Amino acid sequence: MIPNIRKQYNESFTEIKYQQMLAELEKDYPNSIEFRIAETPLFLDIETKHRFLKAGDDICAFITSKDFQTKTANAIHSVNTPPNESPLPECIVMDFAISQDSEQKIIPKLIELQGFPSLFAFEVIHDQAFRKHFDIPNGYATYLNKYDSASYLAHLERIIKGTENKHTVLLELFPHQQKTKIDFYYTQHFFDIPIVCVSEIYTIGNKLFYKRNNHTYPIERIYNRVVWDELPKQSVAIQEKAKLLLQDLAIEWVCHPNHFYRISKYLMPFLKCDSVPSTKFLSALKAIPNDLENYVLKPLFSFAGQGVIIDITPSQINEIKDPENWILQEKVVYAPIVQTPTGNAKAEVRLFYFLNKATGKYIATCNLARISKGKMIGVSYNNTATWVGGSIVYFETN
């Protein structure tokens, strides 16, 4: 979107460089990336960066406000989650569409947000691979607020492992079968924490354990990658294992399962910011709008775009049995302004926010991007086109 940089990148691109970058990303963990990696990063100028950061800061201000817990209490009233929720998650991610205003300036529009980790470790490698195989101009960085790879990883390690040297594990459902497993492997690589499946855990008293190579290890801190809403879909055996986590155990959570529910699409009807499209709980809808073509219908707690209805009909709304678990959101118009050799694409930017415990505020640290030429943005929906998929943004630094 910076014309001279975009033109130079496209003209210097070769398929050989791209394949070399892909090989670089998987050299330590072959065949571990199960989503498409885009051929290009995005380049955004400093003015646009400030708009994105302002949008994120406005949303963070609501999350850190004194009435956040009260306003989001209903998000967890019907779910069975563990005790020992901390007041705030230590990381948040926000997905913003790249849209345009009436003057054709790039503006962020919130699509959704999550009190849940993302590809925090993988994006460090992603940046390194792009820089190794393509010419990234000076004065552009994927890190934000003066972070670099070292300070970013240091902050992330404090988030994941804490400061008391407690035995920490990355907990997931069948981690080696997940599309995001490459991030699990690099998390383990950077921070030397084991990857544990829910099927492996057991309790003795109020303590949690797992075994490796006939050795017993206590779990004192969980870097939680389990999408809690997926548990009811699992086998009876897995559900029984997961029930162990509902006990009052001597463990710490990063992030607690409640954060997944509180900081999600559920939050959007409460947010009154320029960057947030008009959103209502379906249960609060007094009348179906006449212009449904300008809205999307979303289940509150789905993951990776599952269940989203883009082209809505009144009958679809009337057929929903649990309107309290759905939102009607003003449709965001993605600007198809990413110029590629195979046609223009649109994009979404995910900002990573880490909690600064000293200030009690969140700070933007890094990002990822998703590029699309279809109706849906998620990488699962862009497996057949080229110049689409997972990517990163290089923001102008000064």
**What pLDDT, in 10s, does the model give residues 78-131?**
889 999 999 999 999 999 999 999 999 999 999 999 999 999 999 999 999 999
pLDDT of residue 50: 97
pLDDT of residue 307: 82
Q: How far is CA 77 from CA 26, 261, 263, in A?
A: 42, 10, 14
Q: How many residues does the chain have?
A: 398
pLDDT per position as a tens digit, 202-228: 999 999 999 999 999 999 999 999 999
DSSP 222: E
The set of residues, in sequence order, having a beta carbon less than 8 Å from that of 386 and lying 6+ positions away, is 39, 340, 342
Question: Which pair of tokens denotes residue 230?
Answer: 């997926």
In the chain, pLDDT over 70 holds for what percent of residues? Answer: 96
Element (H, E) at 168: strand 168-172
Mean pLDDT of 42-67: 96
More confident site: 70 or 376 = 70
Alpha helices in 40-83 (DSSP H): 46-63, 68-71
Mean pLDDT of 369-388: 76
3-state SS of 90-142 is CEEEEEEEEEECCCCCEEEEEEEEECCCCCCCHHHHHHHHHHHHCCCCCCEEC
Which one-letter amino acid corresponds to residue 8? Q
pLDDT of residue 383: 59
Mean pLDDT of 189-194: 97
Is there a cis peptide before residue 366, judged by omega within 30 degrees of 0? no
CA dist., res. 89 & res. 164, Å (int): 18
Is beta strand 195-197 parallel, antiparallel or unpaired with respect to 202-204? Answer: unpaired
| C-beta separation of 206 from 249 below 8 A | yes
Give the global pTM.
Answer: 0.94
Question: Which pair of tokens denotes residue 296?
Answer: 């999307």
pLDDT of residue 361: 96
Q: How many CB atoms lie within 10 A of CB 154?
A: 12
Mean pLDDT of 148-173: 97
| C-beta separation of 51 from 106 below 8 A | yes
pLDDT of residue 128: 98
pLDDT per position as a tens digit, 319-337: 998 898 899 999 999 999 9
Is residue 382 scored above 60 in pLDDT? no
Mean pLDDT (the chain, rounded) = 94
Residue closest to 90 by CA, chosen among 170, 187, 157, 183: 157
pLDDT of residue 229: 87
The set of residues, in sequence order, having a beta carbon less than 8 Å from that of 273 and lying 6+ positions away, is 55, 58, 59, 110
pLDDT per position as a tens digit, 258-314: 999 999 989 999 999 999 999 999 999 989 999 999 999 988 876 655 688 888 999
